[in-house]
Amino acid sequence: MRIVLVGPPGAGKGTQATRLAEKLRIPHISTGDLFRANISRQTELGKLAKSYMDAGDLVPDEVTIAMAKDRMAQPDAENGFLLDGFPRNVSQAGALDELLKSEGIKLDAVLDLEAPEDEVVKRIAGRRVCRKDSAHVFHVTYSPPKQEGVCDVCGGELYQRDDDSEETVRTRLEVYHTQTEPIIDYYRAQGLVVTISAMGPVDEVTGRALEALKSGQ
């Protein structure tokens, strides 16, 4: 199965992508992982991407597309894949269509995770991370520490990352609405969009997604 996963920041795309890829036995291909892997291996694409990133510029679409093309050509993606973070805009969606068409394959579905904007802000702005170990993450509402501001695991100070401030989250949402959300209409015109609620327990959302992909509704 070949799937594109779409949704606003805070909708749980990363968590659901990992779980769905495992359930469907297809690789989870994320833009972030593509960049990290290529930069780590010092591939030509990785060096090119890093030159833009070091200059504080956005990596051009053609570089991202080339990385995605290379990854989708790997043996483990022969029978399908789940794309997370790519395509990020309509231009990339069109390029992906052309790429898949040249390979004689096509997308099966575009899974759209929906979550109310206020809930997204609440999810992200409520996160608190341990200064000693960033793997220790809490939430002021959903998983609060026993003692406010103190990590349950190691006693480190909990803080709110700059990226998690409400102002930053709303800016990220605006970028999503402007750049990425239009691909939903692009794919809806092709009859590929499957929309589900991203609200509720993680297991419920995963089950909802699998059922929706199965039924195509």
Positions annotated as catalytic residues are 13, 88, 127, 161, 172
Angle at 172 between CA 40 and CA 118, to 5 degrees: 130
Structure tokens at 159: 């803080």
Q: Are 130 and 151 in contact (CB under 8 A)?
A: yes
Q: How far apart are CA 8 and CA 171, in angstroms?
A: 12
Q: How far apart are CA 193 and CA 211, in angstroms?
A: 14
Q: How far apart are CA 175 and CA 106, in angstroms?
A: 27
Report helix, strand or coil for 181: coil
